[in-house]
Chain A
Amino acid sequence: MNQEIKKNSIIRLFNVSKRYNGKFALKDINLDIEQGEFILISGPSGAGKSTLLKVLYLAERVSEGHILIDGMNLARISSSRLPLLRRRFGMVFQDFKLIPNRTVYENVAIVLEAAGEKPDYIRKKVMQVLRTTDMDKKAKALPQTLSGGEQQRVAVARALVGEPSIILADEPTGSLDEKSARAVIDSIMEYHKKGATVLIATHNLHLLENAVRGINIEITEGMIKRTATML
């Protein structure tokens, strides 16, 4: 399948397995993703899509195998370097993970604050990203007062604001109707065009199939079943 050698690989997995209590969530995955690729990870619920994303940003450690991110071996990353690794990723979590009691603005700004950016830059950049996801008018709102679609757009804004080289989005259209899903995908696509690598996990392939161009990796029961190019 993936026989040709890629030159600019940014994510490489070698025989990666992940077990939860002895049960495989990922089984012997080999993957080579090039800088700037757009990847759709599809498969039924429980296939291991979220797990695949989680091992990339070290929310979970692999049980076997190795992962290289931009040449860095994840097994070797010390806890003090972990934050630096994570700043390369922009993550959209399946459950959003917005901080309650913090405004939309604060939820997005936290990425830049954590990276030690200057206040002036933070203010400008956060508002700019909120505009691209059409959430700038709700900057002062609390997450619990937003609709599901709006929360998702905040989550996407937070993933983009740090200008990461890789976007990992777990069901970013999960709770959305077709129109809002389109809007969310569009803002990610927009960012992708600037050269970012994007991985989107979804069990709802047909919603995205026609919207994006890239590679679809289909997994079932923790294994890669099929890799196809979407046009």
Chain B
Amino acid sequence: MSHFIKKALTDIRLNRFLNLVTIFTISLSILVASVFLLFFENAGRVIEAWNQGGRVMIYLKDNFTMDMMPELKDRINGLGNIREIIFISKDEALDRLKKEILFNSDFLRTLQENPLPDAFEIKMKSYSSLEEVEAFAQKIKEIEIVEDVEYGQGWLGKFLKIFTLFKITGYAMCSLFFLVALFITSNTVRLAFYSRKIEVEVMRLVGATETFIKAPFYVEGILQGFFGGVLGLVILLITYLMISSGLTQNLSSYIYFDIRFLSINTIILIIFISTFLGWFGCYLSLKQILK
């Protein structure tokens, strides 16, 4: 193994320019992809925060009576990962409202009867995605006594649609750049292979196995992928550090917006993918050359 690594390193050194271009191209693709990932990770967290960690309000119909309570609670509890159910009676709700909008108490006092419905406020446990909450809300709606369910679907939903569109664009861009990176790596391996045609021929003639012949190319491809990935992330990190220190300071006075760098899992994933890319590019071109 160390023999192959040594060989691959020698070859990278001999074809310095070609290899640097390859590593740089891979790192650019990784950079583009990880910029998107950085954006999605942060946007996802912000959306989650804005969604109040999965708070769902259930409004009940007028014909609700207190003796329906235990059964209803059980049913709701059975529908999802619920951390807390708080019953808010229409009277309580009115009291709250009165406290909240003191200045308009005249209007409230003129009310003949309480227009507010009885309600449950539900906090969901281990809330992970809006889709989950959406599914939960859908099931709640099917209960007869439930009038309406609210979980901030209105504007958040619209925002999410834009976000999804953005995500699709991001995926398309990433795929495109991955293809470019793949093409470049496989091309580099091809060039490396042709530049070592004699060596390959000689190795075959002196009794080297195909595995022995191919291994240095794979090591080279994998190293290129790995270093390309690391370089891309380093560029991203430097850019992140430069921008975020300025940005957070400027923005923090307006909104709570803390941009975090990619999570360790994502970083590992990115490096894994770019290493795989190097391997796969090598696999493709060797498969084509050594039919």
Question: Using a CB–CB distance below 8 Å, which chain A residues touch chain B?
Answer: 57, 59, 79-80, 83-87, 89, 91, 93, 97-102, 110-111, 113-115, 119, 158, 162
Contacts and interface: CB of A to CB of B under 8 A. Distances in A.
Nearest to B15: A101
A57 B205 contact: yes
Contacts of A89: 207
A115 B212 CA distance: 9
A160 to B, nearest CB: 12
Contacts of A79: 210
A81 to B, nearest CB: 10
A99 B203 CA distance: 10
A99 B199 contact: yes
Classify chain B: how many residues form its interface, as a range. 10 to 19
A188 to B, nearest CB: 17
B176 interface: no
A99 B202 contact: yes
B265 interface: no
Contacts of B202: 97-99, 110
Contacts, number: 52
B206 A114 contact: yes
A91 B205 contact: yes
B205 A84 contact: no
Contacts of B208: 83, 110, 113-114
B209 interface: yes
Nearest to B198: A99
Contact of B207 (A59, A80, A86, A102): A86
A87 B207 contact: yes
A143 B219 CA distance: 26
Contact of B206 (A80, A84, A110): A110
Given A97-B202, A102-B199, A114 B209 contact: yes
A120 to B, nearest CB: 13
Given A99-B202, A102-B199, A110-B208, 16 more contacts: A79-B210, A83-B207, A86-B205, A86-B206, A86-B207, A89-B207, A91-B206, A97-B198, A97-B205, A99-B198, A110-B206, A113-B3, A114-B203, A114-B208, A114-B209, A119-B3
B258 interface: no
B201 interface: yes
B198 A115 contact: no
Contacts of A86: 204-207
Contacts of A111: 206-207
A89 B205 CA distance: 9
A110 B196 CA distance: 14
7 contacts: A83-B207, A86-B204, A91-B205, A91-B206, A98-B202, A102-B199, A114-B206
A103 B5 CA distance: 18
